[in-house]
Amino acid sequence: MFRITFLAGALCCFVLPTHSLAESSKYMGTSSCSSSNCHGAAAPRKSTNILQNEYVTWQRHDKHSKAWEVLNGNEAQVMAKHLGMKNPANEALCLDCHATTADSSSVFGKEFQIEDGVTCETCHGAAGGWLKSHVERGATHQRNLDSGMRNLVSLEERAKLCSACHIGNLRQDVSHRLYGAGHPRLSFELDTFGVIEPWHWEIDRDYLARKQDYSAVKAWLFGQVVIGEQHLEFIGSADHMRGALFPEFSRFYCFSCHHSLDQKQYLSSDYSGNPGLPQLNLSSLFIVRGVAPVLNPKLAPKLSELMQQLQTDLKQGDALGKKLRELKAVLQEIKGAATNLAENKTTYDELLVALVQAVTLEKQLYYEQAEQIAMGISAIVSARWSGKNPIQREVDLMFGVLSKPEHFSAIEFRQVAQRLKQKLD
């Protein structure tokens, strides 16, 4: 599907976050996982409760394994020159998301190699505390967690982990300075990027017995809420307003400034009386607002009101802090509604209609918003239909409109959305 080809090439730019741990829990390195008797089998095995070829899948097909190598490429070297760096492969700013790192070298085992990039332990946590015990007879997922393994079954925790680098947080941030030097634009949706990674596990009876079922729709929802929360953290930080004249521009929609004037966007846009002003990138909150009537109708008006206030008044101070706190409180309630979401065809159809309506109702549709709409629809479609679905052509057309960001047409995207709506009615 177009969903996969659209984003697969971009994944090489995005890697997962790293965390400092106590010295008692060491990073053991990928060689501790790669034995053919462990996770390095040449092909998936049917006789055990895991595939056992997870390492091979990561090494051959997952661009996370090449994350460190990217720093040695020509484009990275040019970026480093612009930033006044000698070698990006040695820079903490880059390694923070292109490798497995920690605050102290003493937490690395003797087999650990930073050149391995974003590894098993970047996601699952330093294995020193559970490497041996997780293969013992009677080992359980909970016991592994108690021994230090990271809980990636929790969609909220998974979203926080992935988005820390794929979107950024207060510690791991791709600023406008990095973009100016040439860093690719960050974009992320939890379910979509999980699919194109690709997955190195199989959700079967063994998986369900040890953990819990996976929901593409809930992964998508939690991802949007968590990313929205991170954007609010950015906006509320002192770093957002670096000076009276220049805020941190990476917080805004890229294409509110970066577009050709020949596109004549003003003909198809409504700037609400504020033409010429960049708009905060609230694309994930835009999605949450769009589906809020399905999740909790009482929250939708409040969320919409607060988002509008946030766009029109970015001054730091008590008023902004109050708005951010209120928004975070609403998002907490949304997470509760997402957790309890009844997953059935009726709910999926309501979510699809809500996303299409969000396109129709948005006065100024930015590329980043359309991108999240398409990925969200794709996630819902994967849950709604197990085989062929009646709207796949429209989904593919949406990704087609998005294939060249610099030539994105909101008019064309709205037209496709309208065709999709007609099929859903």
| Model pLDDT for residues 358-374, shown as the tens digit of each residue | 999 998 899 999 999 99
Do 152 and 243 reside in the same domain of the chain? Answer: no
Q: What confidence tens digit (pLDDT) does each residue in 319-346 have?
A: 888 899 999 999 999 999 999 999 999 9
Find the mean pLDDT for residues 181-204: 93
Buried b (16+ CB within 10 A) or exposed e, 276-311: eeebbbbbbbbbbbbbbbbbbeebbebbeebbeebe
Residues 166 and 291 in one domain: no
> For residue 120, which of 198, 28, 48 has the smallest C-alpha distance?
28
Number of domains in the chain: 2
> End-to-end distance of the chain based on CA atoms, in angstroms?
24
Three-state secondary-structure class, residue 117: coil
Among 190, 210, 230, give the residue marking a domain's end.
210
Q: Check whether residue 45 and residue 174 sit in a common domain.
A: yes
Same domain, 286 and 400: yes
pLDDT digit string, tens, across residues 124-161: 999 999 999 999 988 899 999 999 999 999 999 999 99
Tell me how far apart the alpha carbons of residues 271 and 285 are, in angstroms, rounded to a whole number. 18
How far is 22 from 39, CA to CA, in rounded Å?
26
Identify the pLDDT of residue 240.
Answer: 62
Entry pTM: 0.88
Range of the domain at 230: 216-424
- Do residues 23 and 107 make contact, with C-beta atoms less than 8 angstroms apart? yes
Tell me which residue of 423, 413, 407, 311 sits closest to 371, measured CA to CA.
413
The mean predicted confidence, pLDDT, of the chain is 88
Domain closes at, from 164, 190, 210: 210
Residue 146: C-alpha distances to residues 22, 129, 137, 205, 242 (Å):
15, 9, 16, 23, 41
Neighbours of 69 (CB within 10 A): 16
pLDDT of the residue at 121: 95
pLDDT of residue 316: 60
pLDDT at 100: 92
Q: Are residues 199 and 331 in the same domain?
A: no
Say yes or no: 326 and 418 in one domain. Answer: yes
* Measured torsion, CA atoms of residues 209, 214, 218, 222, in degrees rounded to the nearest 10: 90
Residues 172 and 227 in one domain: no
Q: What is the pLDDT of residues 213-255, one digit of tens each?
A: 999 999 999 999 999 999 999 888 866 655 545 678 888 888 8
Q: What is the tens place of the pLDDT at every residue in 15-46?
A: 444 444 454 479 999 999 999 889 989 898 88
Give the end of a domain, one of 161, 187, 210. Answer: 210
DSSP SS3 for 113:
coil
Same domain membership, residue 339 and residue 285: yes
Q: Cα(382)–Cα(216) distance, rounded to whole angstroms?
A: 7
Q: Report pLDDT digits (tens) over 10-20.
A: 444 444 444 44
Farthest CA pair distance, the chain: 67
Confidence at residue 131, expressed as pLDDT on a 0 to 100 scale: 93
Domain shared by 262 and 335, yes or no: yes
Question: Are 18 and 93 within one domain?
Answer: yes
Burial class (CB in 10 A: 0-12, 13-18, 19+), 361: exposed
Residue scoring higher pLDDT (209 or 274): 209
CA dihedral over 333, 339, 345, 351, signed as positive or negative: positive
Kindly state whether residues 159 and 275 are assigned to the same domain: no
Same domain, yes or no: 199 and 252: no
